[in-house]
Structure formats: structure tokens, C-alpha cells
Amino acid sequence: MKIMVSITLVFLVFFFAYVEGNSQKDDDFIFNGFKGANLSMDGSSIITPNGLLQLTNQTGYIIGHAFYPSPINMFIEQNSSNTSTVSSFSTSFVFGIIPSDLKQGGGHGFAFAISPDSKLSGSSSSHFLGLFNDANNGNPMNHVFAVEFDTVGAAGGFGDHDSNHVGIDVNGLNSIAQEPATMTMENGEPIKVWIEYDGVHKHINVTLSPLDVPRPSKPLLSEPLDLSKTLIDSMYVGFSASTAKLASSHYILGWSFRLNGTAKEIESSLLPSLPQVKSPGDSKRHAALALIPATFLVIAVVALWYMYRMRKKRQEESLEDWELDCPHRFGYKDLHIATKGFKASEVIGIGGFGTVYKGVLPKTGEQIAVKRILHGSRQGVREFVAEIESLGRLRHKNLVHLLGWCKRNEDLLLVYDFIPNGSLDLFLLIRQDNFVLSWEKRFKIVRGIASALLYLHQDWEQVVVHRDIKASNILLDVDMNGRLGDFGLARLYDHGENPRTTHVVGTLGYIAPELSRTGKATVRTDVFAYGTLLLVVACGKRPVDPVVGHSTLLDWVTECYHADRVMDVVDPKLNSAYVIEEMEMVLKLGLLCSNWNPESRPSMRQVMRFLDGDDPLPTDGIATDAYLHSQHFKSIFGDVELKNVITSHSQSSSIGPVSTNSFEGGR
Ligand SMILES: *[C@@H]1O[C@H](CO)[C@@H](O)[C@H](O)[C@H]1NC(C)=O
Ligand SMILES: *[C@@H]1O[C@H](CO)[C@@H](O)[C@H](O)[C@H]1NC(C)=O
Ligand SMILES: *[C@@H]1O[C@H](CO)[C@@H](O)[C@H](O)[C@H]1NC(C)=O
Ligand SMILES: *[C@@H]1O[C@H](CO)[C@@H](O)[C@H](O)[C@H]1NC(C)=O
Ligand SMILES: *[C@@H]1O[C@H](CO)[C@@H](O)[C@H](O)[C@H]1NC(C)=O
Ligand SMILES: *[C@@H]1O[C@H](CO)[C@@H](O)[C@H](O)[C@H]1NC(C)=O
């Protein structure tokens, strides 16, 4: 007897465990096909014998609804103050639409819906999709959220743009966001959808793809949306579809849903299949007759396609896996077309890192500058690209924006904004005509560059050290604003380098003393280079070869400063047309930034405050170290003739982020 009871007990325990494990929770369920499913359905909705949920057939002006039978509590208590928000949720389903007429198309569409009741009584067919009617469309009291899959366009009203679009609807059919689907939805093929709502960040994503294609990484729609104001506590989830004069059969093949989590993956292999689409005038004899020429045609097409692919493959870049997920990657073909095949006539600059071409993007007509970098080795490119992906997000009005990149074999191409007016050194140092860049413009340029550096050093999400600030890296736009280019490039050389050798990248005269000793670029070495830039702009002279008897511009300005004749160094081309206080301040600030001791150099934020006159310049820290500088310079170059270095200056770039005269290596 005792044994019997025990066995029964054990059996019961197992039985309940089995039931528990097998039953679906109301807020986490999956239907791989709907055979025997318990749904709340009305209108034309039926479950077909093979397990398809059919919302409508091809009859005009009908509505079908199908909802999960029990309501779901969509809200979660967020914290102790009783504020509640809509929980995150995700749903995934596979649908198929078969239009009554393949040529004309069908209608009207269907929607995934979250609604306070499962009947949606009083709703209209055709373009109301069985969700709303003329009287309540757009009423906030509806408390309905829907994602519509609409196969009738502008004629349907509600600001729909496209006869094959997906839209996000809140309380009405005027979608808050819509996007044309990337495939034809009413083609009788199964299409998979993912709808994901993030309740914390209040964001919704809708992604779709044909069932036999992997999920795309980018959602079709990705929109901020706070559903807390739309939904109420207890909601039904499901589908609604309708037809009008144009009609389609709307089918759902499988569906999963989960509150506060990722919906289970639908098993494609378990899904019922859609009915075959009947093409008009279909008959067996026709088919047989058509078969013979069709076979030849297919063979010919396949052969042609194969040849085309092979040719294309030879032209195309070979992508490595990691390259596929980079939003800033350009197609090689586009850049090839943009630059007319990297034609010599399109070259707008040649510099230390490569050649710069002007280009026009074929798709958008946008003007770009493409820098082709001769890199030789593949090493380090991946890290560099990771960095570009991040630098590509830098946005500041005084930066030349890096739009993207492209890698093909050993070529690395960088794509930048096209800046029409050329580089600052062209205006200051190279042009031989009588053009004079006014002091007002010069001051505006150095102030702009300071604010760009402040952004890179302190105001962006990570510290970016530019490493190559100099007049030829500053481009002037149509309004003669200075824009700093070429950041990050020096890093490529770092990454690609053998780690045992240090390697200084920079430009003679702009390299801080500690940089040439340690090879380590910091924000302080950028400030040093900015100081040199200030002197170059004020004096209109190159940083090395200023006047006979001085090895560097810094050396010369320092000496004049000590002799109380600092205004003697001012660019004579300005012809005394400048604000004396500003000029004096810029010269002293140049010296302050060029301090031998990195710790004594101001930060870019302080530099901005000095330039804006918010703070007065300190009196000490300016040019106390001229002797050290000149000794240091001699220690690097000894008695080397500076001629070579200097003459190479004059072939500077006319445009594009080009480095000329890059000084690499050192001792
Ligand atoms: C289509 O659905 C309507 C409404 O449920 C129904 O009356 C009609 O018989 C169906 N037609 C076919 C061909 O199944
Ligand atoms: C279907 O689900 C509803 C709600 O959960 C329930 O009341 C009803 O009994 C179920 N019907 C069947 C046949 O299981
Ligand atoms: C609760 O959440 C609300 C909204 O998110 C917030 O404003 C409030 O400060 C939070 N209260 C507590 C006690 O965390
Ligand atoms: C939160 O809700 C509980 C029960 O619903 C109530 O007793 C309490 O006063 C509420 N607290 C606040 C801060 O509203
Ligand atoms: C929505 O898509 C964006 C972009 O792909 C992604 O960053 C975000 O995490 C997604 N949100 C949800 C809730 O899936
Ligand atoms: C939702 O999920 C998160 C993470 O899985 C969990 O920490 C949280 O407690 C869940 N919230 C509710 C209301 O279940």
C-alpha cells in the first residue's frame, strides 16, 4: 500500500513537472505553425488544415483578427516611487502575402498590433487594416500600437509614400515613421520580421528579411518611442488584416513573443508552407512548350552571369570578415568612378602619406577628397580601421570630416570632405602674388583650430591626439574658416611599426622636444605644435629657416621677445594692419605653448580662454628656455644642412589633408 502511494506520488510529481515545463507562459510563447493553437480569432481568420494562420482570403472588403487569447501585463513597476513604464518586449513572426492578381497587386495589408481588446470592434476594412475607423483614427484613447505592412500606397491616404512599406503606428494610421520594405512583400514568399522594443531606452526597432536570408544587421526602422503613454496595463497582442477592392490572402506562418527578453527563435523547418502562387494562364501544355527555349535561356543566363561574376570578382576588393560590419566602409568601385579611375588630372595634392584626388561620388554627387595611402604592409590596418570607425564619428565645424575608408589589396583609401580653398600654408607661405591673408582672418583661423583641438583633447568621448598639427594640414573652406585635417594618420605608422623601434612622426619645427626623445605623442605635444602654428601665422614664416642666423622660428621670436622687440617679428605683409593687443597676445601665447617643459604648457581649454580674452596671459612661463631649444635642435641635426628639408616645403599640397615634408625617424 505504502509503495503504491509513493509510486503514485512520484508519478504525480513527474506529471506536474512535465505539464509545467511544456506549458507556455502568457508573456513568453512561440508557435512554429498554428496547428491546434488556441487563439482569439474573428472575421475571416482561420487556421488552415496545414497550420497556417490565414487572416484574410482574396475576398474584397473583409477583416481578420487573431490575438493571443490571454491579455499580457505590459507594465513593470520601475522603482519605489510607483512610476511604472512599459516593459521591453520582442516579437518575431513569419508572414506571407498572396495577392489576388500578381500583376495588379493585392491589398490592403496587415499589422502586428497591441490593443486593449482582442475584437477591435467597429474597425473598418481597406486602408484601416481592421484596426481603426474614420471616427477614431488618431484618437489617443485608442491605446493601440501597431506595426503595419501596407501593400497599397498613396491612394490609401494617411501620408503613405510607397505601395510596399512598413510603418510604426500609434493610435492611428498616420505612421510616426515609415520606410519602404527592402523586398516585395506581396510576392507569395515567406518573410521574417523582428520587432524589438527597449523599455529602458524607449526605442523600437523593426527588422525584416526573406526567410531564407540571414537577419540583416541593420533594422529597417529604428526609432525613439515611449509606449508608456500609449499602452495600458492589460493588453492583447496579435494581428489584424483587411482587404478592399484589391485583395490578398494574408498568412502568418509562425510567431513568437516574449516580454522583457528576446523572443524564441522560430524554427523555419517546422513552419507550414504557403500555397503555391498561381500565375495567370498557367497550363501544363504551355509549360511544357515553354520549357525548351526556357532551358536554353536559363543556361545562357547562368553562363553570362557566371562570366560577369568572375570578372567582377577580379575587380572587387576581397573583404575579410571584420570588414563587413563597418558603416564607414566605401566600395572600391564607387571611389574608382568618383576619381575617374585615379586619373592624374584629378590629383590635388601629394604628400608624405600619399596622393590626394578630388572626386565626385556617383550616387549623391557629393564632392570628396580621396587620399590614397601607400601602405605596403597589411599589418596594423585592422586596428587602424577600428580607429577610423571611431574617428569617423568626430564632428566639429573646424575639422575636416573623415567620411570613410576603403581597403583594396595593399591600397588604403581615406575619404574626406572636399575643402575648396586649399591649405593655410598656401596662403601664408607659398603664394607669390600680392594676396595677403588679413589679420582678422588669421585670428579667426587660429581660434577655430584651437576650438577643434579642444574638442579632440577634452570635449569628445575619448582623447584624440592629432600628432601632426601644421599649416599644411589646415584647410580653408569657402568662408575661410580653418579646418584641421589628417588626424589619426600618424597612428597608422605606429600600428604598422615594429613595436621595438620607436618612430617619430611629425613635421620639423612642430615636434616637441620630449616627443623626439621618447616618441610618445600626447596632448602636450599637440599644444607645442599649436604654439609653433601661432608663430607661423603671426610671422608669415616657416618654422625652420626664418631669418639668417637662427635655426628655428621659435629661436628667433624668443630672442626678439627677450630683447623687448617682439613686434619686430610680425609678418611684414600685414603692413601694420592688425590689432596690436591681439598680435602681442598671439605671439606670447605661441611662446607659452612652445615651453620646453610640457607641464608648463597651457591646456587647450586655457588657450581658448586666452584667445577669447577671458583670462589674461600669465607673465612667466614665456620663453624662458630659448637656449634649451636651440641646443636641442642642434643635438638632433648637428650641423646638418637644413637646405634639403627646407626646399621640400615649397612643393606643398594645394588641397586635401596632405602632409608634406613629414619628418620621420630622427637620429
Ligand atoms: C473568404 O472569407 C470570407 C469571410 O470569412 C468567407 O465568407 C468566404 O467564404 C471565404 N472565401 C473563400 C474562397 O474561402
Ligand atoms: C484558450 O485560452 C483561453 C484563455 O487562456 C482559455 O480560457 C480557453 O479555455 C482556452 N481554450 C482551449 C480550448 O484551450
Ligand atoms: C523613479 O523613476 C522615475 C522615472 O524614471 C524617476 O523620475 C524617479 O526619480 C525615480 N525614483 C526613485 C526613488 O528612484
Ligand atoms: C505606492 O503604491 C502603494 C500601493 O499601491 C501605496 O500604498 C503607496 O502609497 C504608493 N507610494 C507612492 C509614493 O505613491
Ligand atoms: C535597435 O537598433 C540599433 C541599431 O542597430 C541598436 O543599437 C539597438 O540596440 C537596437 N535596439 C533594440 C531594442 O534592439
Ligand atoms: C527583466 O529582465 C531583466 C534582465 O533579464 C531583469 O533584471 C528584470 O528583473 C526583469 N524585469 C521584470 C519585471 O521581470
Report the nearest atom of ligand 6 relative to the CA of 260. Answer: 1
More confident site: 376 or 576: 576
* Ligand in nearest proximity to the CA of 68: 2
Q: What is the DSSP secondary structure assignment for residue 154, as one 8-state letter?
A: G
Give 571-576 contacts, CB < 8 A, sequence gap 24+. 571/428, 571/538, 571/539, 571/540, 571/541, 572/540, 573/436, 573/540, 574/436, 574/438, 574/439, 574/540, 575/436
CB atoms within 10 A of CB 609: 14
> Looking at ligand 3, which atom is closest to the CA of residue 79?
1
Average pLDDT over residues 42-48: 96
Q: What is the mean pLDDT of residues 222-228?
A: 94
Residue 264 has pLDDT above 90, yes or no: yes
* CA-CA-CA-CA dihedral for 294, 298, 299, 302, to nearest 10: 170
Name the residue with the closest Cα to ligand 4, atom 1. Answer: 82
Cα 197 to ligand 2 centre (Å): 27
Q: What's the pLDDT at 546?
A: 60
How many Cβ atoms from other residues are within 10 Å of residue 25's Cβ? 8
What is the predicted pLDDT for the residue at 445? 96
How many CB atoms within 10 Å of residue 565?
10
pLDDT tens per residue across span 171-191: 999 999 999 998 999 989 999
Helix, strand, coil percentages (3-state) for the chain, rounded to 5, are 35, 25, 45
Q: Which residue, judged by its Cα, is nearest atom 11 of ligand 3? A: 81
- Ligand number, closest to the Cα atom of 78: 3
Residue with cell 499589422: 111
Closest ligand to the CA of 249 = 1
The answer to whether residue 278 scores a pLDDT higher than 60 is yes
Residue nearest to atom 13 of ligand 5 (CA): 198
Cell of 497: 611599426
Phi (first) and psi of residue 487, to 5 degrees: -70, 150
Phi, psi dihedral angles at 89 (to 5 degrees): -150, 160
Lowest-confidence pick of 53-57, 59-63, 258-262, 329-333: 329-333
| Cell reading at 636 | 638632433
DSSP string, 488-549: THHHHHHHHS-TTS---EEETTTS-HHHHHH----HHHHHHHHHHHHHHHHHTS-SB--STT
Q: What is the CA radius of gyration of the chain?
A: 35
> Rounded CA gap, 193 and 184, in Å?
14
Active site residue 468: yes
Angstrom distances, CA of residue 389 to CA of 91, 356, 386, 393: 31, 20, 5, 7
pLDDT value at residue 99: 92
The per-residue pLDDT for range 74-115, each reduced to its tens digit, is: 988 766 666 778 999 999 999 999 998 877 788 899 999 999
Which residue puts its alpha carbon closest to atom 4 of ligand 1? 44
Q: Is 383:495 a contact under the CB 8 Å cutoff? A: yes
Average pLDDT over residues 344-354: 75
Q: Does residue 69 have its Cβ closer than 6 Å to ligand 2?
A: yes
Using a 6 Å cutoff on CB, does residue 10 contact ligand 6? no
Query: Residue 42 phi/psi, 5° resolution?
Result: -150, 180
The C-alpha atoms of residue 210 and residue 220 are separated, in whole angstroms, by 13
Exactly one of 150, 169, 425, 468 is catalytic; which is it? 468
CA distance 99 to 256: 25
Decide: helix, strand or coil at residue 109. Answer: strand
* Cα–Cα dist 474/481, whole Å: 9
Q: Which three cell numbers stand for residue 421?
A: 580653398
Q: Which pLDDT score, from 0 to 100, does residue 632 have? A: 61
Of 478-492, 531-545, 616-630, 649-663, the poorest mean pLDDT is in 649-663
pLDDT given at position 319: 57
**3-class SS letters over 324-370:** HHCCCECCHHHHHHHCCCCCHHHEEEECCCEEEEEEECCCCCCEEEE
pLDDT confidence bin for 667, thresholds 50/70/90: very low
Q: Are 326 and 218 in contact (CB under 8 A)?
A: no
CA 505, 508, 510, 515 torsion-angle sign: positive
Q: Which domains does the chain have, with CATH numbers?
A: 24-271 (2.60.120.200), 421-648 (1.10.510.10)
Pocket of ligand 4 contains residue 80 by CB under 6 Å: no
Report CA 506 to chain centroid distance, whole Å: 30
Question: What are the tens digits of pLDDT across the range 106-155?
Answer: 889 999 999 999 999 889 998 899 999 989 999 999 999 999 999 987 65
Helix, strand or coil for residue 204? Answer: strand
Cis previous bond, 108, omega within 30: yes
Task: Name which residue leads in pLDDT, 629 or 237.
Answer: 237
Pocket test residue of 54, 59, 278 for ligand 1, highest count of atoms within 8 A of CB? 59
Question: From the alpha carbon of 76, which atom of ligand 6 is closest?
Answer: 13
Q: Which of 278-282, 283-287, 457-461, 605-609 has the highest mean pLDDT?
A: 605-609
Least confident interval from 97-106, 162-171, 278-287: 278-287
- Give the mean model confidence (pLDDT) for residues 18-34: 70
Instruction: Give the ligand at the shortest distance from the Cα of 28.
Output: 6
| Percent above pLDDT 70 for the chain | 76
Confirm if 415 and 335 have CB atoms less than 8 A apart: yes
Give 219 Cα–ligand 5 centroid separation in angstroms: 8
Contact 409, 319 (CB under 8 A): no
**Which residue in the block uniquely carries the three cell numbers 482561420?**
46
Among 40-44, 364-368, 572-576, top mean pLDDT goes to 40-44
Closest listed ligand to the CA of 80: 3
Is the pLDDT score of 591 beyond 60? yes
* CA dihedral sign, ordered 266, 270, 271, 274: positive
Note whether 447 and 398 are within 8 A (CB).
no
What value does the mean pLDDT of the chain take? 80
How much of the chain exceeds pLDDT 90, in percent?
41
Which one is predicted more confidently, 103 or 615? Answer: 615
Range with the poorest average pLDDT among 83-97, 409-423, 598-612: 409-423
Q: Are 520 and 490 in contact (CB under 8 A)?
A: no
Three-class DSSP category at 557: helix
**Between 391 and 344, where is the model more confident?**
344
pLDDT score at 625:
60
Q: Residue whose CA is closest, atom 2 of ligand 6?
A: 260
- Lowest-confidence range among 276-290, 412-426, 606-620? 276-290
Provide the CA 74 distance to its chain's centre, in angstroms. Answer: 32
Give the rounded distance of the alpha carbon of 217 from its chain centre.
13
Cα 414 to ligand 5 centre (Å): 28
Cβ proximity of 74 and 231 under 8 Å = yes
- The protein residue with its alpha carbon nearest to ligand 3, atom 1, reads 79
- Mean pLDDT for 398-411 is 82
DSSP state of 19: H
Binding site membership of 207 for ligand 1 (Cβ less than 6 Å) = no
Rounded average pLDDT over 436-442: 92
Question: Ligand 2 test: best mutation among 38, 39, 68, 70, most atoms within 8 Å of CB?
Answer: 38
Could you tell me where the DSSP H helices lie in 328-486?
Answer: 332-338, 381-391, 424-425, 439-454
Q: Please give the backbone phi and psi of residue 564, each rounded to the nearest 5 degrees, phi first.
A: 60, 30
Q: Is 222 in the pocket of ligand 5 (CB under 6 A)?
A: yes
What tens digit of pLDDT does each residue of 455-510 get?
A: 989 888 888 888 889 998 899 988 889 999 876 565 554 443 433 334 455 677 88
Q: What is the mean pLDDT of residues 36-63?
A: 95
Report which ligand 1 atom has the smallest distance to the Cα of 46.
5
Residue 636 has a pLDDT of 56
Cα 195 to averaged position of ligand 1 atoms, centre (Å):
30
Tell me, using a 6 A CB cutoff, whether residue 82 lines ligand 4. Answer: yes
598 grid coordinates: 610640457
Residue 201 has pLDDT above 70, yes or no: yes
Q: How far is CA 611 from the centre of its chain?
A: 34
Residue nearest to atom 1 of ligand 5 (CA): 205
Q: Which of helix, strand or coil describes residue 337?
A: helix
Residue ranges of the binding site for ATP: 371
Question: What mean pLDDT is predicted for residues 34-59?
Answer: 95
Q: How far apart are CA 469 and CA 224, in angstroms?
A: 39
Name beta bridge partners: 196. Answer: 90, 205
d(CA 11, CA 282): 59
Measured from the CB, is residue 73 less than 6 Å from ligand 6? no
Ligand 5 centroid – CA 205 distance (Å) = 6
Residue 318's identity, in one-letter code, is S
Mean pLDDT of 508-531: 87
Q: How far is the CA of 79 from the centre of ligand 3 (A)?
A: 6
Burial label, 106 (beta-carbon count in 10 A; 0-12, 13-18, 19+): buried
- In the annotated binding site, the residues are 371
Q: What is the pLDDT of residue 619?
A: 77
CA of 400 to the centre of ligand 5 (A): 29
Task: Say if CB 109 and CB 239 are below 8 A apart.
Answer: no
Name the residue type at position 300.
A
Distance 225 CA to ligand 6 centre (A): 20
